[in-house]
Chains A and B, each alone.
Chain A
Amino acid sequence: MTSQSRYHSTRFFTPSTWVLLLLLIIGAGAALYRLGAGLGPATNLSDGNPWGLWITFDVLTGVALAAGGFTITCAVYILNWKKYKPITRAATLTAFLGYLLVMIGLFLDIGKPWSFWHAWVFWQPHSVMFEIVVCLTLYFLVLLLEFLPWLLTKFSSLSKLQRILESKAVIFPLVIAGIMLSYGHQSSLGGLFLITPDRLHPLWSTPMLHNLFFLSAICAGLAMVSIETMLSSNAFGKEPESDILEGLGRGTAIALLVYTAARMIDLGVRGNIPYIFEGSGASQLFLFEFGICAVLPMIFLAAKTIRTSLPSLLFFQGLVLIGVVFYRFNVVLSSQQQMGGTYFPSLVEIAVTVGLVAGGVFLYRLAVTYLPIFAPAEHSK
């Protein structure tokens, strides 16, 4: 153990940490109940609604929110935008923890958790789900290798391995593989619903769904990294890195521009624009998800005064996150229309999801306290 065992002097166990721990324990209890009692008693899933909160939030949304990992490493290593280097580790950590939670969520959701390894053995390359499982696990491996060196700082005897993992010869292939794998599964999570063209509402049904999922994931990833940078500056009493936040806001605005333009062109080409104003529940959901949570933040984040004011930045980046969450929910729920089910998550489902989020925040806090995540340059020497 090096002399630098802590990287933040703030107390680790504050009241909010205890709340997180409590939620984590409740969630773990709920997860154990699901494993012991089965999906039927633990969830409100049914033949009319086979996919619920866990697939929609823990897996689909979780993966989108963790997209900051590959986006920021792409900016720093591939595009050589050094400005964002101070947040690379935090973004990668978020992605690593995000995927850890996604894997746990997926493990609990599948009916036979003990057979999760089958997808690696029984190849079925015509299945979108197979592609997702393979890319997801490989990308998790990439993130693990990116995360490992910081953990190894705790074991001085392994410093040689740490140096190898941090060398350019390792980092660059990892980053490139990470971007490829992210494209593969981020888009395929939308690709899952290409097979239900007649069930999705026209506002969401498109042969371009996989590309729209990828583009919206980049928006979500950038928004997530911004919010996390703001919140952790606050929590650890650091000065907010306003230059980085301003740049991230600009990045989010550009990503939103590409995403909203692609979606509007797709709706226009397919003649589905009238559905936006038909006044139905679907059109209202669309107006909220797309108008208020994508177009609006795009317009406001284009203004520098908004990007340099922390409260408004937090508000609009928050809207972007909410919009992507709604996008995922809208697609999954509308893919199950006409299957005859009504669904609201059970307490066990909610407890597991809340527990996973709490666990993620708890582990994040643990990692930034004891590992060189923030401003690594100051500590590594």
Chain B
Amino acid sequence: MAKGVLVDITKCIGCRSCQIACKAWHNHEAGYEGLNGTYTMPNQLSADTYTRISFVEGERNNQPTWSFVKNQCLHCQEPACASACPVGALQKTKEGPVIYDQWKCIGCRYCMIACPFHIPKYEWDTLNPWVQKCNFCADRVDAGMEPACIKACPMNVMYFDDYEKVVQEAKNRIANHPGKYINHIYGLNEAGGTSWIYISDRPFQELGFDTQVVKASYPSFTWASLSKIPWKAVGFAAALSAIAVFRNRGSRKEDV
């Protein structure tokens, strides 16, 4: 059964337990980064930071307000990265996670270009570099556990269950709390749907979400061109052969 996660941005208090739990489960180094002018730390996702909370200031009823937004791979239903990968190193499993096989990867980094959410990161400073991104704790999910970040969260910000139940829960919360949530489930249609979806009390645009993301499956954009190439090639070959025979008739005895 495909799993999904609902992130309820209104519930997050910005404690960053999820960041720590993620680092701990994946044995990632805790990096050092000086003050960067915001409370968001680290400033970017990176090869050893699969998730982080971004701190977004705002204003409501003339009062300053905070939103805390968990960023990580959204695990698209039809991932652009997986369709981009020339060797199938990135794959969507039927359980939901988009996982990576570092042995297959050749390091072309097309996944980084293709991802509409700018999620895959690269190990630039090693001689055997891997692509890195949140893997939905596929190992834990396979073993019937919830992802490490969700396990660590004290505020139940994330609801982890079968994907259909997760979507229903998002709809219920919006319906049952009129005025609290904006009527937009981010990830329900974005990029053709993602396994991780978000609900929020503020417009997603204000929270750093890319709302320009096309609401269609990204692999279909390239497939539209790619799927026609074999037919075009056969057509070309036939046409060229015909032209060659026609244009070269009567010149058989000449040297090529």
Give residues in A with beta carbon < 8 Å to B.
37-41, 45-48, 50-51, 74, 77-80, 109-113, 115-116, 118-119, 121-133, 166-168, 171-172, 175-177, 179-180, 183-184, 187-188, 191-199, 207, 210, 335-336, 338-340
Q: In the complex, are the beta carbons of A180 and B225 less than 8 A apart?
A: no
Report the Cα distance A198→B209, complex, angstroms. Answer: 14
Report the Cα distance A124→B81, complex, angstroms. Answer: 12
Binding site secondary structure of chain A: helix
User: Residues 226-246 of chain B: 1 if any A CB is under 8 Å from the residue's CB, otherwise 0?
Assistant: 100100110011001101100
Q: In the complex, are the beta carbons of A116 and B109 less than 8 A apart?
A: no
Q: A192-B113, A195-B80 are in contact. Are A124 and B87 (CB under 8 A)?
A: yes
Report the Cα distance A207→B251, complex, angstroms. Answer: 42
Q: Which of B112-157 contact A (CB under 8 A)?
A: 112-114, 116, 118, 121-122, 124-129
CB neighbours (8 Å) of B36 from chain A are: none
Report the Cα distance A124→B101, complex, angstroms. Answer: 14
Q: In the complex, are the beta carbons of A195 and B256 less than 8 A apart?
A: no
Q: A40-B125, A77-B256, A183-B233 are in contact. Are A119 and B80 (CB under 8 A)?
A: no
Q: In the complex, are the beta carbons of A176 and B237 less than 8 A apart?
A: yes
Q: A38-B129, A111-B109, A166-B256 are in contact. Are A124 and B225 (CB under 8 A)?
A: no
CB neighbours (8 Å) of A194 from chain B are: 221-222, 224-225
The answer to whether B107 has its CB under 8 Å from any CB of chain A is yes
CB neighbours (8 Å) of B237 from chain A are: 176-177, 180
Report the Cα distance A116→B107, complex, angstroms. Answer: 9
The answer to whether B214 has its CB under 8 Å from any CB of chain A is yes
Q: In the complex, are the beta carbons of A196 and B113 less than 8 A apart?
A: yes
Q: A47-B112, A111-B129, A194-B221 are in contact. Are A124 and B88 (CB under 8 A)?
A: yes
CB neighbours (8 Å) of A112 from chain B are: 105-107, 128-129
B128, B226, B248, most chain A CB atoms within 10 A: B226
CB neighbours (8 Å) of B219 from chain A are: 126, 195
Q: What's the minimum C-beta distance from B129 to chain A, rounded to whole angstroms?
A: 4
The answer to whether B12 has its CB under 8 Å from any CB of chain A is no
Report the Cα distance A197→B219, complex, angstroms. Answer: 12
Pick the residue among A168, A180, A340 that contacts B256 (CB under 8 A).
Answer: A168
Pick the residue among B87, B126, B221 that contacts A122 (CB under 8 A).
Answer: B87
Q: In the complex, are the beta carbons of A129 and B86 less than 8 A apart?
A: yes
Which A residue's beta carbon lies closest to that of B91?
A124
Q: A116-B106, A210-B225 are in contact. List 18 more A-B contacts (CB 8 A).
A: A39-B124, A48-B44, A51-B109, A78-B243, A110-B106, A111-B107, A115-B107, A118-B106, A125-B226, A127-B88, A127-B222, A168-B256, A177-B237, A192-B222, A194-B225, A195-B221, A197-B221, A338-B210
The answer to whether B26 has its CB under 8 Å from any CB of chain A is no
Report the Cα distance A148→B105, complex, angstroms. Answer: 33
CB neighbours (8 Å) of B210 from chain A are: 198, 338
Give residues in B with beta carbon < 8 Å to A.
44-47, 80, 83-89, 104-110, 112-114, 116, 118, 121-122, 124-129, 210, 212-214, 218-219, 221-226, 229, 232-233, 236-237, 240-241, 243-244, 247-248, 251, 256
- Lowest 10 A-B CB distances belong to which pairs? A111-B107, A40-B124, A129-B86, A130-B86, A40-B125, A80-B247, A122-B87, A111-B129, A124-B88, A50-B109
Q: In the complex, are the beta carbons of A183 and B236 less than 8 A apart?
A: yes
Report the Cα distance A351→B5, complex, angstroms. Answer: 48
Q: In the complex, are the beta carbons of B104 and A122 less than 8 A apart?
A: yes
Report the Cα distance A192→B218, complex, angstroms. Answer: 12
Q: In the complex, are the beta carbons of B248 and A80 less than 8 A apart?
A: yes
Q: A127-B84, A195-B84 are in contact. Are A51 and B113 (CB under 8 A)?
A: yes
Report the Cα distance A154→B106, complex, angstroms. Answer: 38
Q: What's the minimum C-beta distance from A236 to chain B, rounded to whole angstroms?
A: 24
Pick the residue among A110, A128, A172 that contacts B84 (CB under 8 A).
Answer: A128
Report the Cα distance A39→B130, complex, angstroms. Answer: 12
Q: What's the minimum C-beta distance from B116 to chain A, rounded to whole angstroms?
A: 7
CB neighbours (8 Å) of B84 from chain A are: 127-129, 195
Contacts A/B (CB < 8 Å), 23 sampled: A37-B127, A47-B122, A47-B124, A51-B109, A78-B247, A79-B243, A109-B108, A111-B122, A113-B107, A115-B104, A118-B87, A125-B226, A126-B219, A126-B226, A127-B86, A129-B108, A130-B87, A177-B237, A191-B222, A194-B221, A195-B218, A198-B214, A207-B225
Q: What's the minimum C-beta distance from B198 to chain A, rounded to whole angstroms?
A: 18
Q: What's the minimum C-beta distance from A337 to chain B, rounded to whole angstroms?
A: 11
CB neighbours (8 Å) of A133 from chain B are: 86
Report the Cα distance A123→B86, complex, angstroms. Answer: 7
Q: What's the minimum C-beta distance from A261 to chain B, rounded to whole angstroms?
A: 20
Q: In the complex, are the beta carbons of A131 and B229 less than 8 A apart?
A: yes
Which B residue's beta carbon lies closest to that of A168?
B256
A176, A335, A340, most chain B CB atoms within 10 A: A176
Q: In the complex, are the beta carbons of B233 and A39 less than 8 A apart?
A: no
Pick the residue among B122, B212, B229, B240 that contacts A188 (CB under 8 A).
Answer: B229
Q: In the complex, are the beta carbons of B226 and A50 less than 8 A apart?
A: no
Q: In the complex, are the beta carbons of A111 and B247 less than 8 A apart?
A: no
CB neighbours (8 Å) of B213 from chain A are: 198
Which B residue's beta carbon lies closest to that of A128?
B222
